[in-house]
Structure 1
Amino acid sequence: MNHPSAPASPAPAYPQTLGHPRPLWMLFMTEFWERFAFYGIRWALVLYIVSQFFGGDATGEATANRTYGAYLALVYAAAIFGGYIADRVLGYQRSILVGALVMAAGLFAIAVPEKHIFELGLATIIVGNGLFKPNISTMVGKLYGVSDARRDSGFTIFYMGINLGAMISPVLTEWLAKAVFGSNAMPSYKYVFIASGVGMLISLGWFWVGRRGLKDVGLPPKGGESPLRVVAVLVGMLVAVPVVFSLLAAGAGFLQWVLSILFLALSALLLVEGIREGKVQRDRVIAMLIIFAFNVLFWMFFEQAGSSFTFLADKIVNRQLGDFNFPTAWFQSVNSIAIITLAPLIAWIWVAMKRRNPSIPRKFGLGLIFNGLAFLLLMFALSSLVNEHGKIPFWTLFMVYVIQSVGELCLSPIGLSMVTKLAPLRLVGFGMGGWFLSTGIGNNLSGIFAGHVSGERGMTVPSALSGYTFGFWSLLGAGALLFLIAPLINRLMHGVK
């Protein structure tokens, strides 16, 4: 799997818009609408599962949480195969078009209120996203030469597209579900999914029209221009959908075994290659695998945002702000607003610290600790701030999302960059696969953990307090441990910063 930091050939000469290659803005809007679609369904999925398939009974919360976690995990696992197909079979442009089309089909399918069609729709989204998501980021990198000083700035602009789509989507889709086609008491969730499907079609259309501006970038590999390759990939995706459906239906516990075996096999492959290349490369692979383990833990708790935090917001947070009732869906936009606001500040802090800038493992440790502080705030709220109606103040959950975003900014941006520096040169793609898999495993565990937070009968103040207390101590312990062993990991990195 190619990575944006390592384009295979010099970038073509492009017309410039606002100081950047013009196709960047086309990719910005393509990704904006894809993220609109992805985050549109994020806030509604667990609420819809409980409402539609459990008749609104809170006993369905644990199943909804586990389904959400498994869905996210498989999205990340599918990205490994999507990158390979783009590299070796279709090229990036056709991979993005096919992936967008398949995702749109899945988004419309989950609007059908039948359990098996819903799960098949989720599987279709996963398969389509696997072909779309890793490849559009790679395309951004290919717009710039290796030494072009604007590369980081270009990725920052692209990252804004991601966050703008994620910020606007919950607000608009919630308005459609409650104010236009439903009510607060009876939201019409299917219109959330339909709106997300329309967003995906806009993304597809935008890229279809704008791709001519990319020139040769992202075209099929030499000798792979035949349209029959597209047909072959579509057939392969049709075969993959029932496989993914089976993994979803088998449950999060079984999926955890599958993902763990895949991760162990990938780790062994990387380690063998590292040993073959000598002591320095072996040590770097070991350092990378240690950080992958901590990455699992970060996402296990961070991804409560779309599962248990949704039920917390819906049932236990006092969302009444004067005459205005803050919608549950809008909490999903807080992370994006925080990222857009805080990313430049945190980037400036790292630069200002100069030689005292924390090492990679210590930045990961800070990410875990900030994530833990968010759970500490929830512990305090659930133990000391519950009112006579069994509700905690609005500001507490709002700030949980903000604090988690600080943790994300400490950890997430350096992950892929770290892999390109530490993985064996011949297996950088597999290193990326390890990063995606560790994130996916964390997401699957997030669903299992959220199921425990909700308990057998649905979320209560005691069940939330018990679960989030465990989250705090796990994250604090892991962050402290990573700080302690950071010098050892730095030695294993042999000069990689």
Structure 2
Amino acid sequence: MTDTATPAAAPDYPQLLGHPRPLWMLFMTEFWERFAFYSVSWALVLYIVAQFYQGDAAGQGWASGVFGAYTALIYAASIFGGYVADRVIGYQRSILLGAAVMAAGLFTLLVPSKPLLMLGLALVVVGDGLFKPNISSMVGQLYGTDDPRRDRGFTLFYMGINAGALVAPLLTGWMAAHFTDTPMQQNYRVVFGAAGVGMLLSLLWFWFGRRTLKNVGRPLPGMESRVRVAWVLVGVAVAVPLVYMLLAWVGAAGLQWLLGLLFIGVATMLIVEALRHDRVQLDRVIAMLIIFVFSVLFWTFYFQFGTSLNFLAENWVDRTMFGGWVFPVGWFQSVTPLAILVFAPLVTLVWAALARRKAEPSIPRKFGFGLIFNGLGFAVLVYALKELLGPAGLIPFWPLVLCYVMQTLGELSLSPIGLSMVTKLAPPRLVGVAMGGWFLSLAGGGDFSGLVASWISGDTGMTVASALSGFTFSFAVLIGSGVLLLLIAPLINKLMHGIK
């Protein structure tokens, strides 16, 4: 059977800095898409509370639910986007169409209206579903199946993601503070406009750079007809109102059931396809599905960056710096990507050095370390809320920064490895669907993150007591699940049949 997603022999590309040259084009395409995504992510809940609740903390619960549902749907849509690329129009066309739809949604957010807020988010969800899983899948196609550079290529690509995430809060936070003198809830719309421009740049970058990919990502035989693109556009027109209803009427609480059904559906497709191969492929799919469950737990608490950690930064952290200057809330969101840009090359070198000594941790062990580091980040906040509250009822600046750094180490142990894992363990004909399954684990985490954040904020907004309770719970779940994964790692390694 032909492997349509991760060919055994990749095209012969010119090399740049030790990797195929098209990797760097995909790097910049993803940079601008992530710039757009993280511009919205840091501002969304703050905008909702400011615009629709006039700054009343009672709006934190609803804002957290919207963020959780939006984040969940962003990643759940990847399942359908992966299928469209695999079976209907190919990867390149999916990315171009998704980028255009996302840009339309981001510009729609400029209008200060709840219905149009939901419409804009729905367009972003549908567009990102076509974009996100397919650009990640193409990274795997640049390398042969046994190319030892594959994991390092994904880590470099992941740096592109985080470069965009670093620049977004710094630039758009500054723009919101300096471009107008209007109330802050109006300035957030400057952020959304900048995000739309960033998405247009991503679209143009890929449009002009896609020729360097050669045949990778192009429609397979039988998919070349542009009529297929027209049908996908019809699908987009149908999907946007459906996503709108899920955001506006179902919300995070109802989505957990839908996401559960989607996970069962994806697992069934992967298992059925694996059974067409052999027992080894089935075992590998089972290993991948087990790791997906632990991935949900990781992202449930990681995604607190957009909700409870944002509200903590705004209300319970002493952000007054030298000369009375106040550190912007949004700039905390740049700590993680900055730490990733600092530590990712070091982590890559460590993995490579351990691999040369045949001592590199296996995929499930790396995931276990990721969960534990994430939990240690919350341990820092628990300590600060118990021991470091000042006379004004605020914790110092550094514990939240250290929390983000600890979570960064966890993310580096888990997220780029997860992308690479899917391209190694998935059945060849359904790599796009399997990548959608990986993003579905992020969707589940995003949805639960909104529910956890809503619980922490309650009906009246976050307090020191509710934050302490919520972060203690987060620490316990993450440490417990990380230790459990380390204990069962030998079993999962056996199911992977030699995949490292």
Paired amino acid for 2:253: G
1:269 deviates by: 4.2
Task: Indicate whether 1:191 and 2:190 are aligned.
Answer: yes
1:281 deviates by: 4.5
Task: Indicate whether 1:340 and 2:349 are aligned.
Answer: no
What do the CA deviations read for 1:63-113 (whole angstroms, capped 9, x no partner)?
A: 111111111111111111112212322222222221111000000011110
- The answer to whether the 8 Å contact 1:4/1:140 transfers is no
Question: Structure 1 326/402 Cα, relative in aligned 2: closer, same or farther at 3 Å?
Answer: same
Greater shift after overlay, 85-94 or 190-199? 85-94
- The answer to whether the 8 Å contact 2:378/2:475 transfers is yes
Match of 2:233? 234
Paired amino acid for 2:342: T
Paired amino acid for 1:383: K
Greater shift after overlay, 318-327 or 426-435? 426-435
> What are the within-5 Å matches in structure 2 for residues 38-437 of structure 1?
38-144=37-143, 151=150, 154-182=153-181, 188-249=187-248, 250-271=250-271, 280-323=280-323, 324-353=325-354, 354-425=357-428, 427-437=430-440
Task: Indicate whether 1:466 and 2:500 are aligned.
Answer: no
What do the CA deviations read for 1:372-426 (whole angstroms, capped 9, x no partner)?
A: 1111111101111111111111000001000001011111122233334444455
1:208 and 1:495 mapped to 2: Cα distance?
Answer: 38
1:132 and 1:495 mapped to 2: Cα distance?
Answer: 31
1:10 deviates by: 4.3
- The answer to whether the 8 Å contact 2:5/2:429 transfers is no
1:343 and 1:130 mapped to 2: Cα distance?
Answer: 26
Greater shift after overlay, 479-488 or 107-116? 479-488
1:119 deviates by: 0.2
- The answer to whether the 8 Å contact 1:3/1:138 transfers is no
Q: Tell me the TM-score normalised to structure 2 length.
A: 0.92
Question: Structure 1 95/287 Cα, relative in aligned 2: closer, same or farther at 3 Å?
Answer: closer
Question: Structure 1 122/390 Cα, relative in aligned 2: closer, same or farther at 3 Å?
Answer: same
Match of 1:488? 491
- The answer for unaligned runs of 5 or more in structure 1 is none
Greater shift after overlay, 181-190 or 54-63? 181-190
- The answer to whether the 8 Å contact 2:102/2:128 transfers is yes
Identity rate, percent: 60
Paired residue secondary structure (2:187): coil
1:448 and 1:407 mapped to 2: Cα distance?
Answer: 22
Greater shift after overlay, 418-427 or 102-111? 418-427
2:499 and 2:223 mapped to 1: Cα distance?
Answer: 37
Q: Pairwise CA RMSD of aligned residues? A: 2.5
1:163 deviates by: 1.5
Question: Structure 1 185/287 Cα, relative in aligned 2: closer, same or farther at 3 Å?
Answer: closer
Question: Structure 1 35/306 Cα, relative in aligned 2: closer, same or farther at 3 Å?
Answer: same
1:490 and 1:158 mapped to 2: Cα distance?
Answer: 26
- The answer to whether the 8 Å contact 2:159/2:341 transfers is yes
1:290 deviates by: 2.3
2:149 and 2:170 mapped to 1: Cα distance?
Answer: 33
Paired amino acid for 1:139: M
1:295 and 1:222 mapped to 2: Cα distance?
Answer: 35
Question: Structure 1 271/201 Cα, relative in aligned 2: closer, same or farther at 3 Å?
Answer: closer
2:270 and 2:56 mapped to 1: Cα distance?
Answer: 46
What do the CA deviations read for 1:206-265 (whole angstroms, capped 9, x no partner)?
A: 222333444444333334333333222112101100111111121111111000112123
- The answer to whether the 8 Å contact 2:133/2:436 transfers is no
Task: Indicate whether 1:448 and 2:451 are aligned.
Answer: yes
- The answer to whether the 8 Å contact 1:12/1:143 transfers is no
Question: Structure 1 198/61 Cα, relative in aligned 2: closer, same or farther at 3 Å?
Answer: same
Paired residue secondary structure (1:30): helix
Greater shift after overlay, 5-14 or 311-320? 5-14
What do the CA deviations read for 1:113-149 (whole angstroms, capped 9, x no partner)?
A: 0101110110000100111112223334444555666
1:452 and 1:397 mapped to 2: Cα distance?
Answer: 20
Paired residue secondary structure (2:361): coil
1:200 deviates by: 0.8
Q: Tell me the TM-score normalised to structure 1 length.
A: 0.92
2:476 and 2:281 mapped to 1: Cα distance?
Answer: 34
1:269 and 1:215 mapped to 2: Cα distance?
Answer: 30
1:146 and 1:347 mapped to 2: Cα distance?
Answer: 19
Question: Structure 1 152/437 Cα, relative in aligned 2: closer, same or farther at 3 Å?
Answer: closer
Greater shift after overlay, 197-206 or 132-141? 132-141
- The answer to whether the 8 Å contact 1:177/1:183 transfers is no
Paired amino acid for 2:210: R
1:3 and 1:453 mapped to 2: Cα distance?
Answer: 46
1:43 and 1:370 mapped to 2: Cα distance?
Answer: 22
- The answer to whether the 8 Å contact 1:310/1:328 transfers is yes
- The answer to whether the 8 Å contact 2:85/2:432 transfers is no
For this pair of structures, how many residues does the alignment match? 495
Paired amino acid for 1:251: G
Greater shift after overlay, 378-387 or 132-141? 132-141
1:272 and 1:145 mapped to 2: Cα distance?
Answer: 26
1:369 deviates by: 0.9
- The answer to whether the 8 Å contact 2:8/2:145 transfers is no
